[in-house]
Amino acid sequence: MGNMTHLDELEAEAIYIMREVVAQCEKPVMLYSIGKDSSVMLHLALKAFYPEKPPFPFLHVNTTWKFHEMIEFRDKIAEKYGIEMLEYINEEGVKQGINPFDHGSAYTDIMKTKALKQALDKYGFTAAFGGGRRDEEKSRAKERIFSFRNSEHAWDPKNQRPEMWKLFNAEINKGESVRVFPISNWTEKDIWQYIKRENIEIVPLYFADVRPCIERDGNIIMVDDDRLKLRDGEKIEYKKIRFRTLGCYPLTGGIESDAQTLDEIIAETLSAVSSERTSRVIDSDGGSASMEKRKREGYF
Amino acid sequence: MNGLLKFITCGSVDDGKSTLIGHMLYDAKLIFTDQEESLVLDSKVGSRGGEIDYSLLLDGLMAEREQGITIDVAYRYFTTDKRSFIVADTPGHEEYTRNMAVGASFAELAVILVDASQGMLTQTRRHTRICSLMGIKHFVFAVNKMDLIDFDEKRFKKIKKTIKILLAEFDYESAEVIPVSATDGDNITSLSDRTPWYKGKSLLSYLETVDVQKSDNENGFTMPVQRVCRPDHTFRGFQGQIETGEISVGDEVVTLPSNEKAKVKSIIDAGKNVDFSEKGHAVTLQLDKEVDVSRGCVLVKDAKPEISSLFTAKILWMDDTKLVAGKNYMLKIGTKSIPAVVMKIKYKIGVNDGSELTANEIFKNEIAVCDISTSEKIVFDKFETNQALGSFILIDRISHMTSACGVVEHALRRSDNLTWHDMDISRDQRAAQKNQTPKTIWFTGLSGSGKSTIANEIEKRLFTEGYHTMTLDGDNVRLGLNKNLGFTESDRIENIRRVAEVSKLMNDAGLIVITSFVSPYRRDRVRAKEIIGYDNYIEVYVSTPLSECEKRDVKGLYKKARSGKIPNFTGISSPYEPPKKAHIVVDTSNLTIEEAADKVYDKIKTLL
């Protein structure tokens, strides 16, 4: 590959995949979760189609429990790049008062998985880009780049289509769809190094700062608004924390850290003793197979 | 740093592939503590009774953990001080061979496990063969379970000899044989004192240093076009990844297959304007004049790929449905998708010794050499010369399954290939091309019973679902082919005979035929069945009783017959002999057209 670096190769691969989808799929959409992987995906999409704008909309499935800084960031970015940003909220779930404190895994199912399916059906998207990476979790490590979903959005891990070389089979029947993961082969380290190299904007929550938080079930939870009710014995403390992944604030554990620059984050990531998903509370709910279960049901 | 190495582990089931990689990651301290904890936890509930089962690191799917086997390829990413790695751990079961091939298509090097206690198995040979087919040129044979043969040097050397014999068949650049024990860790990350006779490197240290750089064979520039970028009328750029060679602003390129020349006006490389780009880069090229280029075309400079509609290829069949010559598929090669037919299966390749075996059909996991014809001329190259223009997949046009993957061996010219001219296209091939089983659906029943109405509805439904159909009824047969026939008994017999013969011809052409004739005599229908073929004939008896038909009397025929104006009218002045064993019987007296059609259609679908 001439003088290409590892990051150059990953970038070219992702761009190739994005172009293949746009050239072959009827109605693509890019899932946008506001996290660092989404920031990288958006950046790659801007590059892939330049000087054209990304020829598809972006979709944020909002659980209404995201960190408020994430929503501000999302709106700022959409305006800055002039991209079409769709927001979808499962209003039925909101009406029923579904929340992460009282409803546990049902919350994830209703506000994330179900909401995503509703949104995809509503707009009739035939292909959805996601920022999933194979180094994140064991069942993700097994997923194809073009991952086929039936009309119920379900994944059949035992019967995936073979995917050879760079020949992606995008053929689907009516009602079926594909999820496409252009950064499958990136690691967390690659993501951070690329963010640094390309000077990509990310939500400030990734950098350490003094934030109000509590300790709950061994996780550091940030108190982002007054919907978080303190339990007996819990008290708000101000700690210097940052987040390795971003999601719903009551379900995302922070880590104590002094890393305030990308270099410091990269250094911290390289010496990390636990993988990034441990700070996401939902994964350990249901044992090591919980992610696969959710994915079979349509979770990203 | 030696750059990134993409490799796979493969070999037969239970040779210890996942354990090997798991152990390597564990020993090299390349796993995070939460994964390690989860590993210990999983092992306790797993099948190895508390001892660490390193394979659990990789077998990520629930079904895999339950069955203790690997079903699908898992990718792992790790970095040592010397190199970054992506490893694809692939399944050993023959049933999941296609998933192993997925991993192989992605890798530069294969670590093939051989069970020291069993030697080279058929599956080991199959995997080596597939690795070579998918383009792998670097091999490491890890002779595993050395602990089971007491680290016996002699037995190791014997296995090494059979490996070298197998390798002689293939075109490869490097091959190493290393004695290991995946469970105990011998020669995985450091040399074992249990194999003092082994003078090579440990597996990890070999992988850290092996050179897999492709020897550059002076390729010109090729770029298959993925899409045309046209944000407004002032800009038109061709987007794609440079597969071989290099390109500069001002260079003259040739567009294929349209064969026009144009100069490169600008190059955008991943979003930025540049003067030069090369192999591997995802670019957008603007040319200095209008050319006829769209997705699937190829831009070239100093390269001469083939432009033809016929080539010979080596394929790996991956579909549960077997390959039959003559069936139509969607071929994807480079960025081009085009209908294609596997014209001829030349031979299949013996898994063990690479022998050429004659075959008319190819089943799942078999490798074969075939001639493939595309519906138009396309741009391609030999896999050896240009991987992107020489590799392809075949997609089933109904199920959309990726049925096969293959590599181009060489182009064929119509003139130097006589197969097409010599080949008798059979009924099966015509049918396969239409993706259907030809049948004749024979409607019989009294005039006014509803035959034609239902037949018409059935044809519409089949047609909508993509079947190729034809209806024969009084309207299109009596006025033409059978113009010279009346309604006497002998003419009626001849009428039915001709209809049956035409149905047979149309079935031979691959069509599903629907006939709608009163056909009152049992022996005539039996004869029709003999002509058409017992297996191809579906009889539908529309059993609406005479009283109901006469009541409807849509065309006023019964009235005329009763008054004696029509002689030999079935039901009135001529008998109707109902079928004894029709496939489908439907009485329309109390059904709507939709209900009757639903009933018939559901049954027919099970017979097609």
Positions of chain B with pLDDT lower than 70, given as ranges: 1-2, 15, 28-71, 215-218, 414-424
Distance from CA of B520 to the nearest CA of A (A): 43
pLDDT classification of A292: cutoffs 50, 70, 90: low
B519 assigned to active site: yes
Greater confidence, B486 or A10? Answer: A10
Mutate to test the interface with B, among A138, A199, A266, A283 (most CBs of B within 10 A): A138
| The two three-digit tokens of residue A261, written as one number | 């620059």
Q: Which element (helix H / strand E) includes B453?
A: helix B451-464
Contacts of A164 in chain B (CB under 8 A): 101-102, 105, 134, 391, 393, 402, 405
A191 CB-side CA count, 13 A: 29
Residue of chain B minimizing CA distance to A292: B61
The residues near A160 (Cβ < 8 Å, ≥ 6 apart) are A142, A143, A144, A147, A148, B72, B99
Q: Do B75 and A51 touch (CB under 8 A)?
A: no
Distance from CA of A153 to the nearest CA of B (A): 17
Q: What is the CA radius of gyration of chain B?
A: 33
Contacts of B76 in chain A (CB under 8 A): 135, 141
Contacts of A150 in chain B (CB under 8 A): none
Nearest to B203 by CA among B172, B231, B182, B228: B182
pLDDT confidence of residue A290:
59
pLDDT confidence of residue B507:
94
Q: Do B32 and A275 touch (CB under 8 A)?
A: yes
Contacts of B3 in chain A (CB under 8 A): 6
Kindly report the number of other CB atoms within 10 A of residue A46's CB atom.
15
Report whether B287 contacts B238 (CB < 8 A). Answer: yes
Chain segment A227-272, per-residue pLDDT in tens = 888 888 888 899 999 998 888 888 888 999 998 998 888 888 777 6
Mutate to test the interface with A, among B1, B2, B4, B266 (most CBs of A within 10 A): B4
Q: Is the four-CA dihedral B440, B446, B448, B450 of positive or negative sign?
A: negative
pLDDT confidence of residue B331:
95
| The two three-digit tokens of residue A99, written as one number | 């929340």
Strand intervals (E) in B107-245: 109-115, 138-144, 174-179, 221-224, 227-229, 237-241
pLDDT classification of A285: cutoffs 50, 70, 90: very low
Q: Do B231 and A52 touch (CB under 8 A)?
A: yes
Report whether B143 contacts B181 (CB < 8 A). Answer: no
Among the listed residues B18, B503, B519, B543, the single catalytic one is B519
* Residue of A12, A19, A274 with shortest CB distance to B32: A274
pLDDT confidence of residue A150:
81
Mutate to test the interface with A, among B284, B383, B387 (most CBs of A within 10 A): B284
Chain segment A84-96, per-residue pLDDT in tens = 999 999 888 888 8
Give yes or no for residue A282 having a pLDDT over 70. no
User: How far apart (Å, rounded) are the C-alpha atoms in residues B30 and A94?
Assistant: 43
Inter-chain contacts counted by CB atoms under 8 A, chains A and B: 168
Q: Do B38 and A185 touch (CB under 8 A)?
A: no
Nearest to A44 by CA among A71, A24, A67, A16: A16
pLDDT confidence of residue A283:
45
Q: Do A12 and B270 touch (CB under 8 A)?
A: yes
Q: What is the CA radius of gyration of chain A?
A: 19
Q: Do B226 and A16 touch (CB under 8 A)?
A: yes
Contacts of B61 in chain A (CB under 8 A): 138-139, 142, 157-158, 292
| The two three-digit tokens of residue B322, written as one number | 């077997």
Biggest CA–CA distance in chain B, Å, is 110
pLDDT confidence of residue A139:
67
Contacts of B405 in chain A (CB under 8 A): 162, 164-165, 167
Chain segment A167-202, per-residue pLDDT in tens = 998 888 777 888 999 999 998 888 988 999 999 999
Q: Do B61 and A139 touch (CB under 8 A)?
A: yes
Nearest to B144 by CA among B6, B27, B11, B7: B11
Contacts of B230 in chain A (CB under 8 A): 52
Write the single-letter amino acid at B18.
S
| The two three-digit tokens of residue A245, written as one number | 């992944």
The residues near B418 (Cβ < 8 Å, ≥ 6 apart) are none
Distance from CA of B382 to the nearest CA of A (A): 15
Contacts of A185 in chain B (CB under 8 A): 75, 77, 86
Chain segment B149-189, per-residue pLDDT in tens = 998 999 999 999 999 998 988 889 999 999 999 888 889 88
| The two three-digit tokens of residue A45, written as one number | 């999409």
Q: Do B280 and A4 touch (CB under 8 A)?
A: yes
| The two three-digit tokens of residue B254, written as one number | 């040739």
Q: Do B62 and A292 touch (CB under 8 A)?
A: yes
pLDDT confidence of residue A11:
94
Least confident of A143-152, A157-166, A288-297, B152-161: A288-297
B257 preceded by cis ω (within 30°)? yes
Nearest to A142 by CA among A246, A299, A21, A295: A295
Kindly give the interhelix angle for B593-607 and B451-464, rounded to the nearest 10 degrees.
60
Q: Do A135 and B71 touch (CB under 8 A)?
A: no
Give phi and psi for B330, each to the nearest 5: -95, 125
pLDDT confidence of residue A1:
45
Write the single-letter amino acid at B542.
V
ipTM value: 0.86
pLDDT confidence of residue B70:
64
Q: Do B33 and A274 touch (CB under 8 A)?
A: yes
The residues near B9 (Cβ < 8 Å, ≥ 6 apart) are B17, B18, B20, B21, B87, B88, B89, B90, B110, B111, B112, B113
Q: What is the dihedral of CA A15, A17, A21, A24, to 10 degrees?
A: 110
Q: Do A4 and B330 touch (CB under 8 A)?
A: no
Q: Is the four-CA dihedral B24, B29, B31, B36 of positive or negative sign?
A: positive
What mean pLDDT is predicted for residues A279-296? 52
* Residue of A11, A139, A278 with shortest CB distance to B270: A11
Mutate to test the interface with A, among B400, B435, B465 (most CBs of A within 10 A): B400
A51 preceded by cis ω (within 30°)? yes
Q: Do B335 and A184 touch (CB under 8 A)?
A: no
Residue of chain B minimizing CA distance to A277: B34
Mean pLDDT of chain B: 86
Residue of chain A minimizing CA distance to B330: A171
Contacts of A53 in chain B (CB under 8 A): 231
